[in-house]
Amino acid sequence: MLSYTRGPSRPLLELTIGDLLHRTADRFPDRLAVASCHQSRRLTWAELSDEADRVARGLWSLGIRRGDRVGLWSTNCIEWLMMHMGCARAGAALVNVNPAYRSHELQYTLKKSRMKALFLWHKDRHADYEEILGRARHGLDLELEHTVYFDSPEWPALLDAPGQLPAHVAVDDVANIQYTSGTTGLPKGVMLTHHNIVNDGQFLAQGFHYTEVDKIVMPMPFFHCYGCVIGTMSALNSGAALILPNWTFEARTTLKAVQEEQGTSLYGVPTMYVAEMALPDFKSFNLTSLRTGMMSGAPCPIELMNRVLDEMHCKELIIAYGQTETSPVCTLSDAGDSIEVRVNTVGRAMAQTEIRIVSTTTGETLPTGEQGEVCARGFVVMKGYDGDPEGTAKVIHADGWLHTGDLGVMRPDGCIHLTGRSRDVIIRGGENIYPREVEEFLYTHPKVGEVQIVGIPDARLGEVVAAWVRLEPGAEATEAEIREWCQGQIAYYKIPAHIRFVDSFPTTLSGKIQKYKIRDFEIEVRGLQHVANEATA
């Protein structure tokens, strides 16, 4: 029996995000669409649809037309959702900008995305975004024509501006561009169409068994595909409400939102659930309204899964797997699945999606039970990497199969057990970190002669960044000096947690650096064997 399976045949929606919003607003006009707890703001589906039209008309007044790119650089807020829906109505491609980005990363995104407008706040407790933007723009000739701050008169003026809606937006238009490093190197803009994410949201909503009475507590960041597809699109497809606990994740405000809003579903990566259950007064929160939720974004320890099912009342918690390039979910368990399936696998192929496991050497489909690379085909596959046909061709082959770079085993029942990653990627608390990107940045330090970045196990975050640095001849530096160089230029989660200065690196006879030996060495000297060997689903 070969490692090939196809999800159920269910109708695909031929709707844009804007069309779907109209449909949901018509079906449930007076039901809650979003509650932003930290802003004390609430919108019904009819109100959200109206706000989306206001944003779309405002974009028109700025000269934004179908196919133009609009950047959004913000933590979670009601304005994020308004922009998400408004760009869709305007036919513009929303470019997600990570709020953790600093000048080096922002500069790259501004140039690469060719965005014509950027929406943001002046500052928050984490960063001065206006100052970072100023540094990133310095001396550059960009296509960026408009910068609109939510906390300035420009935003309400834009919402009241006269304008018009486009006559036509196509389902295969690019709706969203999200940056990920793909295979290797600097971040690539993953182009997701309306068709991609509307249907991913449709089948996710079905997997959760959502209806309009559900309330999804969503502490995941909107800029991430988890937030702006698994979060928004599963709600949009079902009429369920989105509950935003805070600007960024905080364990206490998340549980408070569940309790006060009577949330029925809770999203998060494993580290979030760990933080919530670690609160000294965890048991004082009434979480009995919870029915389901999702744990995804990083390997899930089996014991953690069992605790969430029991202590957080998420009896129908599901696991999903995918990547930004698969819109993002391509396999998932169902809320009605046995605990065994939800603990030991990432579920089975999503509806209208094919999954197979192939040999990493021959590309042939392997028998069930054998480890190989996970591949996906169907509506979930991205349109491609923005402006990078060569990079696209490396991961999407001529036969339409997307090669994920992840390793797994297919069971006879079609469920997938992930076993590792063939690509060089670190997942720290659900955030993907691409070693080459960090390495290339560290090479800008005048004392760094050579650097290798690896991920090493961490009990709380899953993995953290470790750097081996060979300094230039005669140079001296400290760990603090290297980290200080990173501050304000790359996202905090990419800054190495551990730095070791070395004279050489382990290599093969051909001179290829053996990163696994670096990782093994760090695990050994730091006594992390028990963390590295912890069982995960």
What is the rounded distance in angstroms from the CA atom of residue 72 to the CA atom of residue 107? 14
What is the rounded distance in angstroms from the CA atom of residue 36 to the CA atom of residue 43? 9
Of 112, 143, 164, the residue that ends a domain is: 164
Strands 32-36 and 41-44: antiparallel
pTM here is 0.88
Question: Which among 118, 87, 77 is positioned nearest to 101, based on CA atoms?
Answer: 118
Q: Which residues pair with 421 in a beta bridge?
A: 406
- Residues in CB range of 256: below 8 A, 6 or more apart: 37, 245, 285
Instruction: Output DSSP code: residue 493.
Output: G
pLDDT at 181: 60
Render pLDDT for 367-383 as a digit per residue (tens, 0 to 9): 999 989 999 999 999 99
pLDDT at 421: 67
CA geometry: angle at 454 spanning 448 and 460, to 5°? Answer: 125
Question: Which among 211, 268, 236 is positioned nearest to 430, based on CA atoms?
Answer: 268
**Per-residue model confidence as pLDDT tens for the chain (537 residues):** 999 999 999 999 999 999 999 999 999 999 999 999 999 999 999 999 999 999 999 999 999 999 999 999 999 999 999 999 999 999 999 999 999 999 999 999 999 999 999 999 999 999 999 999 999 998 888 999 999 999 999 999 999 999 999 999 999 999 999 998 644 457 899 999 999 999 999 999 999 999 999 999 999 999 999 999 999 999 999 999 999 999 999 999 999 999 999 999 999 988 889 889 989 999 999 999 999 999 887 667 677 888 899 999 999 999 999 999 999 999 999 877 888 888 789 999 999 999 999 998 899 999 999 989 999 999 999 999 999 999 999 999 999 999 999 889 999 999 998 876 666 778 888 888 878 789 889 989 999 988 999 999 998 898 999 999 999 889 999 999 999 999 999 999 999 999 999 998 897 555 668 888 999 999 999 999 888 877 555
Residue 486 domain-assigned? yes
CA distances to 133, 158, 270 from 62, in Å: 20, 8, 41
Residue 67 domain-assigned? yes
Render pLDDT for 14-65 as a digit per residue (tens, 0 to 9): 999 999 999 999 999 999 999 999 999 999 999 999 999 999 999 999 999 9
Backbone angles phi, psi at 475, to 5 degrees: -85, 150
Residue 458 domain-assigned? yes
Q: Which residues pair with 348 in a beta bridge?
A: 332
Question: Which among 119, 125, 41 is positioned nearest to 80, based on CA atoms?
Answer: 119
Residue 288 domain-assigned? no
Residue 402 domain-assigned? no
pLDDT at 182: 44
Backbone angles phi, psi at 328, to 5 degrees: -105, -10
Instruction: Give the total residue count for the chain.
Output: 537
What is the rounded distance in angstroms from the CA atom of residue 305 to the CA atom of residue 206? 21
What is the rounded distance in angstroms from the CA atom of residue 313 to the CA atom of residue 147? 44
Residue 155 domain-assigned? yes
The 3-state DSSP class for residue 470 equals strand
Render pLDDT for 247-283 as a digit per residue (tens, 0 to 9): 999 999 999 999 999 999 999 988 889 889 989 999 9
CATH of the domain at 132: 3.40.50.980
CB 267 within 8 A of CB 218: yes
Strands 292-295 and 318-322: parallel
Question: Chain centroid to CA 447: how far?
Answer: 34
CATH of the domain at 501: 3.30.300.30
Instruction: Output DSSP code: residue 116.
Output: S
Of 108, 135, 164, the residue that ends a domain is: 164
pLDDT at 140: 86
CB 117 within 8 A of CB 89: no
Question: Which among 494, 183, 167, 122 is positioned nearest to 324, based on CA atoms?
Answer: 183
CB atoms within 10 A of CB 157: 12
What is the rounded distance in angstroms from the CA atom of residue 67 to the CA atom of residue 83? 15
Task: For 111-187, list the strands marked E by DSSP.
Answer: 117-120, 146-149, 174-180
Supply the angle between the helices 194-208 and 17-27 in degrees, to the nearest 10: 40
Residue 489 domain-assigned? yes
For the record, the structure tokens of 340 come out as: 């065994």
Of 164, 188, 212, the residue that ends a domain is: 164
Q: How many domains does one find in the chain?
A: 2
Q: Which residues pair with 384 in a beta bridge?
A: 191
For residue 462, the enclosing domain spans: 426-532
Sign of torsion over alpha carbons 75, 77, 80, 85: positive
CB 182 within 8 A of CB 160: no
Question: Which among 139, 4, 118, 131 is positioned nearest to 62, based on CA atoms?
Answer: 118
CA distances to 313, 342, 408, 494 from 531, in Å: 27, 22, 21, 21
CB 213 within 8 A of CB 5: no
What is the rounded distance in angstroms from the CA atom of residue 458 to the CA atom of residue 399? 39
CB 190 within 8 A of CB 326: no
Render pLDDT for 224-254 as a digit per residue (tens, 0 to 9): 999 999 999 999 999 999 999 999 999 999 9
- Residue 43: is it exposed, middle or buried by C-beta count within 10 angstroms (0-12/13-18/19+)? buried
- Residue 413: is it exposed, middle or buried by C-beta count within 10 angstroms (0-12/13-18/19+)? exposed
Residue 87 domain-assigned? yes
For the record, the structure tokens of 88 come out as: 């869709």
